[in-house]
Amino acid sequence: MVNLNLNSLEPSFFSRSIAEKFDDSNYLHWQQQVEPVIKSHKLQRFVVNPQISLHYLTDHDREIDHVNPTFEVWDIQDQMLLTWVQSTLSKSVPSHVIGCIHSYQVWDKIHEHFHM
C-alpha cells in the first residue's frame, strides 16, 4: 500500500482563489498571483523541470500493470495541481491548453504563448 503524502496539497490549497482569472491580456498579473501560491506549497517541482518517476519499474510490472508507487503519488499531486491551475484560467484560455494532461504542460503552453 502506498503512503500518499499529499501535505503540500491540503484542502486549503484548493480554496485559494485569485483576484483575476487569466485571459489573453493579463499574463503578468496572473503570473504574480499564481506563482506565490505554487511556491508557498513547494509545488514548483511539478511545473518547472518536472522530474517524473517511471510509470513502471520493470517490464514485468508493465505486463501485470503494477504501477510504481512513487509515480502514483506524483500523478495524484500533479492532477490536483492541474485542476487548480485550470481553475485560474478564463474561458478564452483553454483553447491554448487543449490536450495538456499534466500541470507542467499547461504551464509550458501558457508561458510559450503569453510570455513577453
Please check whether residue 15 lies inside any domain of the structure: no
Reported as a pLDDT band with limits 50, 70 and 90, residue 80 is: very high
Mean pLDDT computed over 31-47: 94
Other CB atoms within a 10 A radius of the CB of residue 4 amount to: 12
Q: What is the DSSP code string of the chain?
A: ------GGG-HHHHT---SS-B-TT-HHHHHHHHHHHHHHTT-HHHHSS--PPPS-SSHHHHHTT---HHHHHHHHHHHHHHHHHHHTB-TTSGGGSTT--SHHHHHHHHHHHH--
Q: What is the pLDDT of residue 103?
A: 97
Tally of domains within the chain: 1
Please check whether residue 52 lies inside any domain of the structure: yes
Please check whether residue 89 lies inside any domain of the structure: yes
Range of the domain at 82: 24-114
The whole-chain average pLDDT of the chain stands at 88
Q: With contact defined as beta carbons under 8 Å apart, do 97 and 109 qualify? A: yes
Residue 40 pLDDT exceeds 60: yes
Please check whether residue 1 lies inside any domain of the structure: no
Please check whether residue 16 lies inside any domain of the structure: no
Reported as a pLDDT band with limits 50, 70 and 90, residue 30 is: very high
Please check whether residue 18 lies inside any domain of the structure: no
Please check whether residue 5 lies inside any domain of the structure: no
Q: What percent of the chain has pLDDT over 90?
A: 70
Reported as a pLDDT band with limits 50, 70 and 90, residue 1 is: very low
Please check whether residue 28 lies inside any domain of the structure: yes
Residue 35 pLDDT exceeds 80: yes
